[in-house]
Amino acid sequence: MGQERRVMLKLALWLLTSGAMVVKAADNPCAAGPPVDTNPAECCPTPMLMDGTIMMDCYQKYGEQTKKQLQMEGIPRGCCIAECAMNATNMYADGMLKRDDLSKMFMDAVKDKPEWMSLVRDATNACFELAEKKKDEIEAGAKLEPSFEGEKICHPISGTVLRCMGMMMFAQCPASIFNVNDNCNKLREYGSMCPMI
């Protein structure tokens, strides 16, 4: 993979995880976003749970739209990058994720990384539980109308689960992997006090 593709892939992953940090309340200390512009992947090189080529293709299709949507107020919009990736792996159909198949795909992605296996298994369960708790908000997001020309409305379930996975893996990054420095420590502290989704 060329340097430009690696940079684009990191940006796509950052968009997926940073979207989880957007909070609407103006007086909330989390509303301004992370206090540093460090990419989470520089602090904790989390394993890729989805095929990098698929993620790149989906980012190229929907990256600009996703950036615009992250700035919008109101009901959270679905992440088309995430839905595109789930469609490409046959993990999504009609507003539902194939939980068992997705769990297997995530576990297969870390089968050679024992330090991540229990973390990924637990995060998968927690993220599906979170999606269940947010079911009404997710359904409301799926029924939104386009708000700018060319906007595609995607079902929020894929983005909810992928963002949650990224945030949980970062928050629980094994100590042996986490890059300890001021920016990374600030990013981890921010992630621990601000809501994931």
pLDDT, tens only, 19-46: 544 434 445 666 677 788 888 889 999 8
Q: Which one is predicted more confidently, 90 or 22?
A: 90
- Closest Cα partner for 181 from 48, 11, 44? 44
At 18 the pLDDT is 52
At 25 the pLDDT is 43
pLDDT, tens only, 50-67: 999 999 999 999 999 988
Burial bucket for residue 30 (CB in 10 Å: 0-12, 13-18, 19+): middle
Distance CA 44, CA 47 (A): 9
Q: Which one is predicted more confidently, 75 or 101?
A: 101
pLDDT, tens only, 102-155: 999 999 999 999 999 999 999 999 999 999 999 999 999 999 999 999 999 999
At 82 the pLDDT is 94
Distance CA 135, CA 129 (A): 10
Residue 14 has pLDDT above 90, yes or no: no
> pTM of the prediction?
0.81
Distance CA 36, CA 106 (A): 29
Name the amino acid, one letter, at 116.
W
3-class SS at 104? helix
At 21 the pLDDT is 42
Arithmetic mean of pLDDT, 71-89: 91
